[in-house]
Amino acid sequence: MQTVSVADFLRQSFDFLIIGGGTAGLVVASRLAQHGQFTVGVIEAGGQVNGREDVEIPGYFGKSLGTEIDWKFRTAPLAEVGGKTLMCPRGKALGGSSAINFMTWCRASREDYDAWERLGNPGWGWDDLLPYFKKSETFHPPSPAVQVEKDIRYDPDAFGYSGPIHISYPSHIPPRQRLWFNTLNSLGVKTNSAHAAGSIAGVWTNVNSIDPRTMTRSFATNYCDLAGSNLHILTEAMVQEIVLDKTSEGYVASRVRFTHKDQKYVVSALREVILSAGTVKSPQILELSGIGNPEVLSRAGIPVKVDSPMVGENLQEHKSIHAIVEHDPELENSDDLFLDADYAAAARGQFARDRTGGFSHVFGSYAFVPLARHMPQETLDRLCSRVQALTEFSEEKKAILEERLRCPDKRGQIEYIFKLGVGPMAQRGKKLATLYQILQYPFSVGSVHVQPAPSQKEDPVIDAGYFKGPAGELDLEVMLESTRFAREIILAPSMSSVVKQLVHPPAGFYADDQVMRKWIIDHAGLAMHAVGTCALGGLAGIRGGVVDERLNVFGAKGLRVVDASIMPLQIGAHIQATVYAIAEKAADMILHDAARQ
C-alpha cells in the first residue's frame, strides 16, 4: 500500500487527486492507477487500520464506533425529542466506512436504480450498474452440503467472482435461522431465492463482506493491491479547500489545499480533482470551496464562485427502531462474548486456532417486507394521497415514492433483522434478542451544511429531517404500521416458542396509537446509510442536484463527486455494495473521458 510522507507526496506531479481514501475513493484511485498511464494521489484524513482487531475480526463489529477511527458526527439538536442529538458514525480511516460498518452486503431492487434513470440520469439503471456490482466482488459460494443443510438459496449468475472485495454467507448459521424463515413465511413473507438478482423483497440469509479464507473483514483497502507504484496515499491530512481558477469559460478545479500536522500545503491536479469524502464531508468541502447556495455561503462568510443551490440538500437516511425480547436461555447469544469472560476467552482462542466460533461471523437473518402486503387498503390509499401533497419533491419523485408504497412484491418498505443479543444494553442473567425494523424509503429529507462561522476543525451542521413536517409525519405513519407488523413477528407461533417476553417497549403499548407514535419518535435512530447531498441532478440540472450523469460538478470543470452523496433517491438496501458499484462505474467513465481528451 503506497502510503507516503508529506514531502514525498508533494514531489509528485498528479494527474488525478482524490479527496477521501474511503469506500469510493480507494476504488476510483486504484482503478485509475491500475490503468498505468496516470499518477494518482489520495488525501485521507484518517490513518491506516489494517490489522486492528476491532476492524478485521467480524465478531467485534460495532466496537470501533466512537473511537478515533470514527468521525463521531452528531446531528443538530432535534426539536422533536427535546433537543437530543443522534449519532452519525462515519469511518475516519483508510477504507472509510467500509472499515467500521457491519459488513452487510446486499443490492437494492432493480426498480430502485431504474428510478435514478427515470429522473433523467442515463446510464444509472439496474442493467448499467449490475456489471459494476459484479466487478467489485469475489463471491465464495457455500458448499453444496451447507446449502442443503442450512437452506441457503441464491442465483449464482447474479454474483461476481474476480473482484477485490471477498463476500460470503455466514460461516455459522444457527438453528434460529430456520425459526426466522418459518416465522416470516407464516406471515406471508416468502423466501427469496435470488435476493441479489433484482428483487430484495422477502426473507433470506444475508451475504457479508467477510473473506472466508481468513474470516476477516474485506474492505476498500483491498483495492490498493491493484494500483502498483502509480498510487500515492497521504494519510492524516485534512482538506480545507478545492481551489477553483476563474477562466473565460468558468471555474476549473486545479489544486487542493490541506493541512498535515498543523502545517498548510497546496497540491495540484493536472486533469481532475475527485471528491470522495462521503455524504457528510463532500458537501462541506464544496461549500468551503465556494460552491453552494449563496445564502448558506454568505452566512459562513465564503465568497460565492458557483451558485449551486442543492449542495448539502436532499439528505436521506434510513430510520431504525428496535424491540428487545427475552428469549430461551438455551439459545446462544452474541452478548456472551462481552458479558462472560471465560466464554469470550474460549471463543477468542477458537478463532485464533481455526477461524471458527462466535468471533467469526455476524448476524444474517434478514427480511425486506412490502407494506402493501399487510397494510389495509384504506390506509395505503390515505398515505399515497399524502405523498402527492408533498412540496419537497418533483412530480417525478412523488410518482416513484407512491409506487414504492404500493409495490406488493418486489421491494421492501421495511427491513427486519433478528439478532440474538443487544450489544450495549446487555444484562447479566438475561438472554435478550433484538428485532430491528428499518425504514427503507424515507419521505423526509434533511441537509448538511458548513457552519455559519466556517472552520475545517468544525463538523458541518447535520439536519436529519427527523420526523419533520408533512414528510416526517408520513415516515412516522409508515413506521407505525411496521411496528404493528413487528409485533406480529414476535407473537407468531414459531417465534413465540422461544420468546419469553417483550422487554422494550412494554407489551401494553401496542394498544394506543399515540403512545406508539411517541415511542417511535423518542427511540428511532439513524442507520448509517446517509445519501443524497451531492445528488445527480437529472432533468432539473443544477436546480435539482449537484452533479450530471457523469458525476461532473455543475459549474466547475475538472471536478467530480464520487460517493454515496450522488444518489438522488435512497435505495431499499444497505448501501455498501452500491457505493462500490458507483465508484467502479465512475472509474470507467473517468478513464473513458480521459482517453477522449
Segment 115-159, tens digit of pLDDT: 999 999 999 999 999 999 999 999 999 888 878 777 788 899 999
pLDDT digits (tens, 9 = 90+) for 333-351: 888 888 888 888 998 999 9
Closest CA to 485 of 353, 374, 345: 374
- C-alpha 450/C-alpha 404 separation (Å) is 33
Q: Which amino acid is at 369?
A: V
Cβ atoms < 10 Å from Cβ of 284: 27
Tell me the per-residue pLDDT of 357-397, one tens digit each, with 9 for 90 and over: 889 988 888 999 998 888 889 999 999 999 999 988 899 99
Q: Position of cell 411496528? A: 483
Whole-number Cα distances in Å, 161 to 134, 135, 228, 377: 7, 8, 22, 43
Q: Over 70: is that where the pLDDT of 457 sits?
A: no
Is 529 known to be catalytic?
yes
Given the residues 172, 449, 529, 592, the one annotated as active site: 529
Q: How many CB atoms lie within 10 A of CB 146?
A: 14
Query: Does the structure show a pLDDT above 90 at 439?
Result: yes
Q: What is the pLDDT of residue 456?
A: 61
Q: Of 96-110, 140-154, 159-173, which range is least confident? A: 140-154
Strands 447-449 and 291-292: unpaired
Confidence of residue 506 (pLDDT cuts 50, 70, 90): confident
User: What residue spans of 168-317 are helical by DSSP H?
Assistant: 176-186, 278-288, 294-300
pLDDT attached to residue 144: 85
Q: Which of 181-185, 286-290, 564-568 has the lowest mean pLDDT?
A: 181-185
Secondary structure of residue 219 in the 3-state scheme: coil
Question: DSSP class of residue 407?
Answer: -
- With CA atoms as reference, report the closest residue to 530 among 282, 278, 277: 278
Task: Let me know: does 210 contact 222? Beta carbons within 8 Å.
Answer: no
d(C-alpha 110, C-alpha 116), whole Å: 11
Reduced to 3 DSSP states, what percent helix, strand and coil does the chain have, rounded to the nearest 5?
Answer: 40, 25, 40
Confidence band of 318 (pLDDT split at 50, 70, 90): very high
Using one digit for the tens of pLDDT, what is the confidence trace for 230-265?
A: 999 999 999 999 999 999 889 999 999 999 999 999
Q: Which of 583, 580, 565 minimizes the C-alpha distance to 283? A: 565
pLDDT per residue over 268-278, tens digit each?
A: 999 999 999 99
Q: How confident is the model at residue 488, as a pLDDT? A: 93
Beta partners for residue 244, in sequence order: 253
Q: Evaluate whether 190 touches 203 at the Cβ level (below 8 Å).
A: yes
Residue 391: count of CB within 10 angstroms of its CB = 8
Going by their DSSP bridges, the two strands 210-211 and 207-208 should be labelled as: unpaired
Whole-number Å distance between alpha carbons of 276 and 515: 42
Euclidean distance between CA atoms 542 and 250, whole angstroms = 15
Q: How far apart are CA 415 and CA 435, in angstroms?
A: 10
Q: Is 184 left (phi over 0), alpha (psi -120 to 50) or beta?
A: alpha
What values do phi and psi take at 266, rounded to 5? -135, 135
Domains by residue range for the chain, with CATH: 174-205+319-333+361-439+467-523 (3.30.410.40)
Nearest Cα neighbor of 338 from 56, 59, 103 is 59
Give the pairing of strands 319-327 and 499-504.
Answer: antiparallel
What is residue 154's three-state secondary structure?
coil
Distance CA 198, CA 195 (A): 7
Judged by DSSP in three states, 141 sits in coil
Q: Which three cell numbers stand for residue 223?
A: 483495492
Dihedral over alpha carbons 13, 14, 20, 23 (to 10 degrees): -130
Average pLDDT over residues 206-212: 95
Q: Could you tell me which residues come within 8 angstroms of residue 472 by beta carbon, excluding any fewer than 6 positions away?
A: 80, 443, 444, 465, 466
Is the distance from CB of 419 to CB of 434 less than 8 angstroms?
Answer: yes
Hey, is 531 helix, strand or coil?
A: strand
Radius of gyration (Cα) for the chain, nearest Å?
A: 23
* 592 in catalytic set: no
Min mean pLDDT across 59-63, 220-224, 451-455, 460-464 is at 451-455
Tell me what the mean pLDDT of segment 69-93 comes to.
Answer: 95
How far apart CA 535 and CA 12 sit, in angstroms, is 32
pLDDT tens readout for residues 3-12:
999 999 999 9
C-alpha cell at 265: 500545503
Give the count of alpha carbons within 13 A of 215, CB side only.
21
Give me the chain's average pLDDT, please: 93
In this prediction, residues 465-488 reach a mean pLDDT of 94
- Known binding residue 49? Answer is no
